[in-house]
Every structure is written in C-alpha cells, then in structure tokens.
Amino acid sequence: MNEQPSTQQEELKRLFDKYLANTCTREEFDRLYDLVQQEGQEAYFLQLMTAAWNITDPLPARLLEELPALSPPGVRRMKRPLWKWAAAAAVLVLATVAGVYYFSGAPAHKAGMAVSGTERSIVPGGHHAVLTLADGSEITLDSAGNGTLARQGGMRVVKLGSGQLAYHSANGATMPAASLYHTLSTPLGGTYVVELPDGTRAWLNAASSLRYPAAFSGQERRVELTGEAYFEVARRAGQPFRVAVKLSPSAGTRMIVEVLGTRFNVNAYADEPAVRTTLLEGAVSAQAGSKRVTIQPGQQASLPAQGNDFAVAQADLSQAIAWKEGYFRFRADNITTIMQQLARWYDIEPVYEGNMSGKNFSGTISRHAGIAEVLQILESTEDIKFRIKGRQVIVSALPYQ
C-alpha cells in the first residue's frame, strides 16, 4: 500500500502545482520555498520535480538546461525585482538538487566554467588541525596515527580516528592536569572534533581555536574560543561550563557564555559584524561587560562588534549549524558574506569588481562540492561572474539585464 502524503506534503504539492501553472502569488511562493527547506521535504520535492519535467538523466545536467524555463511566463531579466523572484525559483530547484547530488559523491557537472589545474588545486576543507601541548610542542593531527599521542598530568591524549580527539585518564601524574593547558587549532579549510576531559564534545569550524585544561577542577569548566564551534556540554551539577569568547587568541575576552548542560553554537570570527550564540537545547546565558542575557532553545543572541547591547531573536537553527552537518546554508545572504564562508573553507581570497549590493542568495550547497561547482551554482542564480587566478576568486558584478 502506498504511503499517504502528509498534510505538509499535500500543501507542498498544491503550491508546486500552482507554481507550474504560473498562478502562484509571491506569498505562496515564499511558503513553497520554506516548505522545501524543511527537514525531510527535499526528497518529496525531488519526486514532484522529476515527475513534472520527466527527468531521468543526471539531475544537475538536465536541470541546468531546464533553468531558463523555470521562470513564470512573461518574466524576463529586465527588471531587478522580477528577476530576483525568477532567481529564487531557480535556487529552489538547483540548490536543493546540488545539496543532495554533491553530497552523494556523484561526479560533478560543470557547465560554462572550464575546470583548470588551478581550480583542481582548490579543494574543499577536511579534518585538519594542530594540537599544542602545555610544553609548547605541536602535534599535526592530520599525519598523526591513531592511538595515544601524549601523556600529561595524568591524562592521555588519544586520536580516535579521522577528525576526532579525546582525553582519557592515565596513571603516573607528575603535576595537576588542571594546570596544563592545550590548544586545538584548525587552519583555513580545516575542521576537527574534540572530546574534552569532562565528556563535553566540541566541533571546531575552519580558522578556529579552542584552549582548555587537560582536566577540569574547581568550581567551573572554562575554555577559550576564537572562530566558531558547536558544543554538546556534559552535565556536571555545581560546575558550570563557560566559554570565554575572543576575536583572536591574543585579544581580551569579548563575551562569556555559561551553561550547565546543553547544545549550542558560537560564531565569533573577527571579520563578522557580530558574535552570535545560537541555542539548540538547554539554557544559556551570555555576558559582555555588565550586560547579560539568557536565551531559550531556538533563540540566538547577537553581540555587535562594538558595544555590549545584545539582540535576542528566533534563530534559523539549520543555518546556524549547517557547517557542522556538512553544508553551506544561505538565507538571502549577500555575496560578500557568502564569500567569507567560502574563503575559510576553501582557503581562497575573494576580490570584488563592481557593486555587490543586492547580490543576495538563498540555498543549500554541500561543503563536499568542489569550488567550481559552488561558483557555478552562485552564477546561475545571481548577476555575478567568477574568475579564478591562483587562490584569488574574482567576483564581478554584472549589469542588470
């Protein structure tokens, strides 16, 4: 017996049928876009889409051919507002497929941009990090074998596997482990996971660092973060977990995030306009100077680069932790913001030609995709073109057509 579609799927199909018939209002289109982005709906939307266009050959290749037909009749790239709607329609299809297709490991399709030797040298990031021990010695985790890497203060530092580090107790302590600090640092294009001595797990994004003791003692568990990390904090009654957020390792503390046991993400890159703390589960308080806020699950606290006035709002949780799940997820983000993320992951330098205002993009792209595929997706939905010169990516604004 065929499974009956859910109420949400029925709504998605109804709106998609209206879109195909060119009777979809802007409000209905926005609702359709939101439905497609919700967890579990991508596969159903792909079924509707492939049936509508009778697509049986490789999806990206065929869809790139279908894109010109995706705009409602009468819409041309003549006026920016109408083109932005048409571009969003293209993203609705192409970005969803790209995320599924590239993540599956299928061969990438590339149209319109030749893949040069330079492009092949720009690869997606991976499990890369350096561990600095208390005595200043460094261990490059990429090349280190699995097993015990070091023993300090009664703790064994163990590499568990690809992209994972852990701390296990050991005999023969020569000094209190709480006085020994280690630093885990990821380069551009690097990410790593560490299980701290208390069982807390931390995922580090690219160009980030986490400083922590080899063992937690006293009345708090305190770590120092630069860049971005996602935490799943082990509960310890009477010993709160505190993250001292810094914009660089040598800078002073910009904000302190305090929890007892929870799941949350902190984005604290120096080139971002604000430090953002996003809560998925539990309870979190954030403090900067004399200002303090408490947020609930599903909320985000933003602290601007200047000043200590927090802003609290509902968060797009899937966007906040997309990097941890292996995706870029954009929601009407400007191309300069997007290129910041790409620069950290692919270790590239964006260079801009022309006015980038209004060059916004919404969609989901796998972080496993090659740089050429990512740029092709962006080119297909915006008035921009890309050129690659060494490790520079030149972003050129095109005149509205």
Domains of the chain and any CATH numbers: 7-103 (no CATH), 117-122+324-397 (3.55.50.30), 126-320 (2.60.120.1440)
- Which amino acid does the sequence have at 270? A
What is the spatial distance between Cα 380 and Cα 376, in angstroms, rounded to a whole number?
6
pTM for this one? 0.73
Q: Which two tokens mark 111?
A: 């149209």
- pLDDT on residue 208: 98
Please report, for residues 206, 325, 340, the alpha-carbon distance to residue 348 in angstroms, rounded to integers and kept in the order given.
13, 22, 9
- Which amino acid does the sequence have at 239? Q
Question: Mind giving me the DSSP string for 82-98?
Answer: HHHHHHHHHHHHHHHHH
- pLDDT on residue 77: 30
What is the spatial distance between Cα 293 and Cα 256, in angstroms, rounded to a whole number?
11
Backbone angles phi, psi at 283, to 5 degrees: -145, 140
Cβ neighbours for 47, distance < 8 A, ≥ 6 positions apart: none
What is the spatial distance between Cα 299 and Cα 140, in angstroms, rounded to a whole number?
36
pLDDT in tens, 313-348: 999 998 999 999 888 988 888 999 999 999 999 999
What is the spatial distance between Cα 364 and Cα 384, in angstroms, rounded to a whole number?
18
- Residue linked to tokens 């109420």: 7
What is the spatial distance between Cα 28 and Cα 306, in angstroms, rounded to a whole number?
39
Cβ(183)–Cβ(133) under 8 Å?
Answer: no
What is the spatial distance between Cα 369 and Cα 388, in angstroms, rounded to a whole number?
16
What is the spatial distance between Cα 211 and Cα 182, in angstroms, rounded to a whole number?
6
- pLDDT on residue 107: 33
- Residue linked to tokens 């203060």: 153
Q: Give percent above pLDDT 70 in the chain.
A: 74
pLDDT in tens, 362-391: 778 889 888 998 998 888 766 889 999 999
Please report, for residues 169, 234, 259, 260, 287, the alpha-carbon distance to residue 237 in angstroms, rounded to integers and kept in the order given.
21, 10, 11, 7, 21
Cβ neighbours for 13, distance < 8 A, ≥ 6 positions apart: 5, 48
Q: Which two tokens mark 307?
A: 């000043």
- pLDDT on residue 61: 42
What is the spatial distance between Cα 398 and Cα 78, in angstroms, rounded to a whole number?
13
CB atoms within 10 A of CB 154: 18
Q: How far is C-alpha 230 from the geometric centre of its chain's CA atoms?
A: 11
What is the spatial distance between Cα 68 and Cα 29, in angstroms, rounded to a whole number?
18
Q: What is the pLDDT along the chain (401 residues), one digit of tens a residue?
A: 445 567 888 888 888 887 766 566 756 766 776 777 666 676 677 777 767 655 444 444 444 444 444 433 333 332 333 334 444 444 455 444 444 333 333 333 334 444 444 565 788 999 999 999 999 999 999 989 999 999 887 788 999 987 899 998 876 544 455 578 999 999 999 999 999 999 999 999 999 999 999 888 888 999 999 999 999 999 998 899 999 999 988 889 999 999 988 999 999 999 999 999 999 999 999 999 999 999 999 999 999 988 899 999 999 998 999 999 888 988 888 999 999 999 999 999 999 999 998 888 877 888 988 899 899 888 876 688 999 999 999 999 987 55
What is the spatial distance between Cα 213 and Cα 115, in angstroms, rounded to a whole number?
46
Cβ(130)–Cβ(185) under 8 Å?
Answer: yes
- pLDDT on residue 69: 40
What is the spatial distance between Cα 179 and Cα 163, in angstroms, rounded to a whole number?
26
- Residue linked to tokens 């890159």: 269
Q: Are strands 209-213 and 190-195 parallel, antiparallel or unpaired?
A: unpaired
- pLDDT on residue 175: 47
Q: Which two tokens mark 214?
A: 């080899």
β-bridge partners, 303: 275
- pLDDT on residue 306: 86
Cβ neighbours for 265, distance < 8 A, ≥ 6 positions apart: 228, 229, 230, 231, 276, 277, 278, 280, 320, 321, 324
What is the spatial distance between Cα 254 and Cα 181, in angstroms, rounded to a whole number?
20
